[in-house]
Chains A and B, each alone.
Chain A
Amino acid sequence: MKLIKCIIRPNKVDEVKDALAKLNIAGMTVTEVRGHGKQKGHTAIYRGKEYNVSLLPKMEVEVVVPDNMADDVVKAVVQAARTGEIGDGRVFVLPVLESYRIRTGEKES
């Protein structure tokens, strides 16, 4: 199993969700996050005063999928979340050791 963690633009959440749905992935966790990558924020000016916007609002979408689906999921997310501009985000793939369903306590394979 793989945990796929996607940091994307806030306005791309719906498109990413639709793309994942097409791969029959229903369960996901979506979180509001703030951070920066290469984009490192930018300088905004309000009424003549500069202020540095270092942490940008992003969305984090997390899904856990079987190993054999990981590549397709990554491709789908990248395609859905891309604008081609700086600040499109990142996708991380992490191994998942074990997974349990809380309601039943049963271990999932």
Chain B
Amino acid sequence: MSLTQPSPGGSTLVAAFDAARTELEADALRGAAGRASLERFSDRIDAMLRQLFADAGGNERSVDVIALGGYGRRHLCLQSDIDLLVLFERAIDADDERFLRAFLHPLWDIGVVIGHQVRELDDFKRLETNNAEFLLALLDARPVAGIRSLFDRFRTRFHTASTHAYILKSLLELIDRRHAAFNATLYQLEPDVKEAPGALRDLTATRTIGMLTDPLLLRRGPADPARVDQAEDFLLRVRSTLHLGAGRNQNVLSHEMQERTADLLGYPGAEPRQRVERLMSDYFRHARVVTRSLDWARKSAPVPVGPNLGLSRDGIRFLDPVVAARNPATWLGAFQAAIDHGTDVSDEALSCIQQHVDRYRADDFFPDAADRQTLLRLLTPRAGLYARLSEMHDCGLLGRVFPEFQAISWRVVRDFYHKYTVDEHTLLTIRNLERIAETTAPERLRFRNVLAAVAEPQLLVLALLLHDVGKWRDDDHAVESVRMAIDVVDRLQLRGDARETVLFLIRHHLQMSLVAFRRDTEDPDVVKTFAAFIGTEERLKMLALMTLVDVEAVSPETLTPWKEELIWRLYVDTYNHLTQRYGDELIERNQAGLDELLKQRPDDLSTVEITRFLEGLPQRYLQLFSRDAIYRHVRLARDIHPDEVHLSLERSDSAIWTVAVTTLDKPVLFSNICGVLSSFGMNIIRGHALTNPNGLVLDVFQFTDDERFLELNAEGHQQLLHVLEDVVSGRSDVTSLLRGREQGVLHAKGAQRFAPVVRADNEASGRYTILDIVANNALGLLYRISRVISRQGCDVDLVLIATEGEKAIDVFHITKGGSKLTEAEQQALTSDLLRTLEGSL
């Protein structure tokens, strides 16, 4: 049967619509057009639209008709607009437009007021922040006609934690604005039963707040939910009489309408005044229930802060504990949210976890890569971490996530020093680290700066968490801790180098205190041996911090300023050794680690090829790069001829890119690479330039692509490599490339500026003049520095690039004519550099 054409049965769209309205009008005349009648009316409109949809050919295409707002809630009143969303799966074409006309025009023709929105599914990838009312109406979305799966996809896209948070914020603003228009009182003599405080919009808002934050919220409210339902039915019945009387969408219960409504609703009383008084007294009673519910919901509703998580007055809560109990992978999110918002996890959520935690195994808490990242991110040292880990420990979660940690729960080890159980000692080390991260105490700032420079401090926290787990046994606990930690790093699927770092820190967590407190650290050989043992500055930083917080967690008296000073000195001496002397320590044939590297080599690489590549590189090279990276470098250097450049560019993780360049000795190579990267807006954060006596140069740079050039340009990868190749091989000039960026070059990124430090030293290394530079990080900084070095006739042999926030820390190993610089040459170079760097201030 068609609605748009008269059928033999005689039914038409007009007739169907009229029949529905007549039925509702009859109910309104009896004062009975409340919730049930409006639902019936909505259902009839649904049926009408479904038929119209079919007639227009909707069933042959990927489109949905979705009811919104009051119609979505099945509360369509006599004169209400019918709010619809017409949702297309794909981009709308001419055929779709024909469908739209065929669907909408008949409705317009019979005078139905349609409020329609047309969208494509992809429109819901982004949040429409300019139309809060539309977003609110979408919360009531209900499928009327079309494909159910399309509606489900829309729901999944639309209902996200961030969208909910945005809508909630907008809703609260809208409520305030609306109430202000009514002087924020419900006691209106002629109330608007839709808009006034305590009227229908407030009632819907109350439920919406509950829906967005905590489905069980209203059950705990001051009013019995049944009374809220009664208020709603009353307000709808009144509204129906208003629409009936006015013949339009009019919602003000004026004095005149009050008499008529009181009559229709059957209020007793001899005089109209008495009937009106009874009506209005009922109105205020119901409006007060609504107002109190809304006030309570606004006060008590948790703010959504993540999937099924809300921030309430008692901390982070699970919005739906039943759902939470079934999803252990979301629990860590509660602790992360608590840290993010500087609050606790609520007792209710902790009880929920405690009640269900024994049902799950370690893997259940981080089943996929994103969950593993969540766990690692949680371990970032900052205010609140110790408190949250303690909560996790108390409710049994920490011991489930890390069964290894459970082994030292309440473990007592009797010695002369420790004052706490092993688990608490462990957690205190993390508290001490978190305090270093936040400290403003002048004597502690040096360690805070070291912590700020650690690239992945969460690995340090992981190592601290596991460093003493081996104490469940009584023998050499560091070895046992490593054995147990291997299971953890396996479960977390840490990257190879991250895994090695964590295990190294655990295995050797006592080594630095041993050397600092028990060895003669003024003996250069002691420092040299310790530096060789540590290998890289990154490990040194982590081990120094680990030592400090571990000693401090033994008892309140254990870490004295005296011990702190010894740790600091050993750190500085070792740091200087690592960054300044490595050029003197070259890879030898019987080098530690070399055998393993050769043994594990892939089939395409020969022993000779690897040995030849490594010959004459600093020993440090073997510690800086993983085996796989070294094999890649060997391949990159394969068959290289003069005037050739071999390049590789890869993404190290989501934010960091690594470019490796090999070539045979080229003057200003380093400067050129820095220049090209800067010309593309790349921010160099770490890097190494290495040379061997055969003239082979290997430069490896890590950079961030802050302007997203590589991400946004499909050809960007190739383009960058191309330009690098052209510049390094001398086919184009980097200066011209940089011209467009002159304004940006050496423009620090707005953070705190400080005077640059430049220092040349001939003592530290046997072969090189060491140039230490600390300056504000800026685009093109390295390019400028290396140009000055070249301008002064010096060769850059080795470079170490590091950044700490806005600070660039670079160590250049340089020579002039194959020798160290004379005093006068050093003077000329440092002055030139200072002039350049100060020019940027």
Check A57 for interface membership: any CB of B closer than 8 A.
yes
CB nearest neighbor in B for A49: B757
Would B522 and A48 count as touching, CB distance under 8 A? Answer: no
Would A14 and B518 count as touching, CB distance under 8 A? Answer: yes
Q: Which of B431-439, B544-552, B565-573, B669-677 contacts A (4 or more CB under 8 A)?
A: B565-573
Check A9 for interface membership: any CB of B closer than 8 A.
yes
Quick one: CB contact mask for A42-80 with B, threshold 8 Å, 1 for yes? Answer: 001111111001000100000000000000000000000
Q: A2–B279 Cα gap in the complex (Å)?
A: 105
Would A47 and B772 count as touching, CB distance under 8 A? Answer: yes
Q: A27–B520 Cα gap in the complex (Å)?
A: 25
Q: A85–B774 Cα gap in the complex (Å)?
A: 34
Q: A34–B565 Cα gap in the complex (Å)?
A: 10
CB nearest neighbor in A for B758: A48
Would A32 and B560 count as touching, CB distance under 8 A? Answer: yes
CB nearest neighbor in A for B576: A45
Q: A32–B559 Cα gap in the complex (Å)?
A: 11
Would A11 and B519 count as touching, CB distance under 8 A? Answer: yes
Given contacts A32-B562, A53-B569, contact A45 B759 (CB under 8 A): yes
Check A99 for interface membership: any CB of B closer than 8 A.
no
Chain B residues within 8 Å of A9, by CB: 520, 522
Check B563 for interface membership: any CB of A closer than 8 A.
yes
Would B519 and A47 count as touching, CB distance under 8 A? Answer: no
Would B565 and A48 count as touching, CB distance under 8 A? Answer: no
Would A87 and B566 count as touching, CB distance under 8 A? Answer: no
CB nearest neighbor in A for B566: A57
Chain B residues within 8 Å of A11, by CB: 517-521
Given contacts A11-B520, A46-B575, contact A57 B565 (CB under 8 A): yes
Check A33 for interface membership: any CB of B closer than 8 A.
yes
- The distance from the CB of A56 to the nearest CB of chain B, in whole angstroms, is 9
Quick one: CB contact mask for B756-796 with A, threshold 8 Å, 1 for yes? Answer: 01110100000000001110000000000000000000000
Quick one: CB contact mask for B234-270 with A, threshold 8 Å, 1 for yes? Answer: 0000000000000000000000000000000000000
Q: A108–B187 Cα gap in the complex (Å)?
A: 94
- The distance from the CB of B813 to the nearest CB of chain A, in whole angstroms, is 14
- The distance from the CB of A30 to the nearest CB of chain B, in whole angstroms, is 12
Would B520 and A83 count as touching, CB distance under 8 A? Answer: yes
Would B518 and A49 count as touching, CB distance under 8 A? Answer: no
Check B165 for interface membership: any CB of A closer than 8 A.
no
Check B20 for interface membership: any CB of A closer than 8 A.
no
Q: A48–B772 Cα gap in the complex (Å)?
A: 5
Check B809 for interface membership: any CB of A closer than 8 A.
yes
Would A48 and B562 count as touching, CB distance under 8 A? Answer: no
Would A10 and B772 count as touching, CB distance under 8 A? Answer: no
- The distance from the CB of A86 to the nearest CB of chain B, in whole angstroms, is 9
- The distance from the CB of A12 to the nearest CB of chain B, in whole angstroms, is 8
- How many residues from A make CB contacts under 8 Å with B? 20
Would B572 and A46 count as touching, CB distance under 8 A? Answer: yes
Chain B, range 566-619, C-beta contacts under 8 Å to A: 566, 569, 572-573, 575-576
Q: A51–B575 Cα gap in the complex (Å)?
A: 15
- The distance from the CB of B394 to the nearest CB of chain A, in whole angstroms, is 36
Chain B, range 493-543, C-beta contacts under 8 Å to A: 517-523
Would A45 and B761 count as touching, CB distance under 8 A? Answer: yes
User: Which one, B521, B563, B774, contacts A48 given CB within 8 A?
Assistant: B774
- The distance from the CB of B133 to the nearest CB of chain A, in whole angstroms, is 57
CB nearest neighbor in B for A34: B562
User: Which one, A12, A47, A50, A83, contacts B809 given CB within 8 A?
Assistant: A47
- The distance from the CB of B521 to the nearest CB of chain A, in whole angstroms, is 8
Given contacts A9-B520, A14-B518, A83-B520, contact A44 B563 (CB under 8 A): no
Q: A87–B521 Cα gap in the complex (Å)?
A: 12
Chain B residues within 8 Å of A83, by CB: 520, 523
Given contacts A9-B520, A11-B518, A87-B522, contact A44 B572 (CB under 8 A): yes
Chain A residues within 8 Å of B560, by CB: 32
Q: A50–B576 Cα gap in the complex (Å)?
A: 12
Q: A45–B221 Cα gap in the complex (Å)?
A: 65
Chain A residues within 8 Å of B772, by CB: 45, 47-48
Chain A residues within 8 Å of B761, by CB: 45
Chain A residues within 8 Å of B572, by CB: 44, 46
Q: A46–B566 Cα gap in the complex (Å)?
A: 15
Would B774 and A47 count as touching, CB distance under 8 A? Answer: yes
Q: A85–B524 Cα gap in the complex (Å)?
A: 12
Q: A46–B570 Cα gap in the complex (Å)?
A: 12
Q: A36–B560 Cα gap in the complex (Å)?
A: 19
Chain B residues within 8 Å of A85, by CB: 522
Would B757 and A48 count as touching, CB distance under 8 A? Answer: yes
Chain A residues within 8 Å of B759, by CB: 45, 48-50
CB nearest neighbor in B for A55: B565
Chain A, range 80-102, C-beta contacts under 8 Å to B: 83, 85, 87
Chain A residues within 8 Å of B773, by CB: 48
Would A46 and B562 count as touching, CB distance under 8 A? Answer: no
Chain B residues within 8 Å of A44, by CB: 569, 572-573
Chain B residues within 8 Å of A49, by CB: 757, 759, 774
Chain B residues within 8 Å of A12, by CB: 520
Given contacts A48-B757, A48-B759, A49-B757, contact A32 B522 (CB under 8 A): no
CB nearest neighbor in A for B830: A48
Q: A12–B519 Cα gap in the complex (Å)?
A: 8
CB nearest neighbor in A for B520: A11
Q: A87–B575 Cα gap in the complex (Å)?
A: 23
Quick one: CB contact mask for A16-48 with B, threshold 8 Å, 1 for yes? Answer: 000000000000000011100000000011111
Chain A residues within 8 Å of B521, by CB: 11
Chain B, range 67-108, C-beta contacts under 8 Å to A: none
Would A47 and B757 count as touching, CB distance under 8 A? Answer: yes
Q: A98–B569 Cα gap in the complex (Å)?
A: 41
Additional A-B contacts beyond A48-B758, A57-B569 (14; CB < 8 A): A9-B520, A10-B517, A11-B520, A11-B521, A12-B520, A32-B560, A46-B572, A46-B576, A48-B759, A48-B772, A48-B773, A53-B569, A83-B520, A85-B522
15 A-B pairs with C-beta separation under 8 A: A9-B522, A10-B517, A11-B517, A11-B521, A32-B560, A32-B563, A34-B562, A45-B759, A45-B761, A49-B757, A49-B774, A57-B565, A83-B520, A85-B522, A87-B522
- Chain A positions near chain B (C-beta within 8 angstroms): 9-12, 14, 32-34, 44-50, 53, 57, 83, 85, 87
List 7 A-B pairs, minimum CB-CB distance, nearest first. Answer: A48-B772, A32-B562, A48-B759, A48-B757, A11-B520, A46-B572, A47-B774
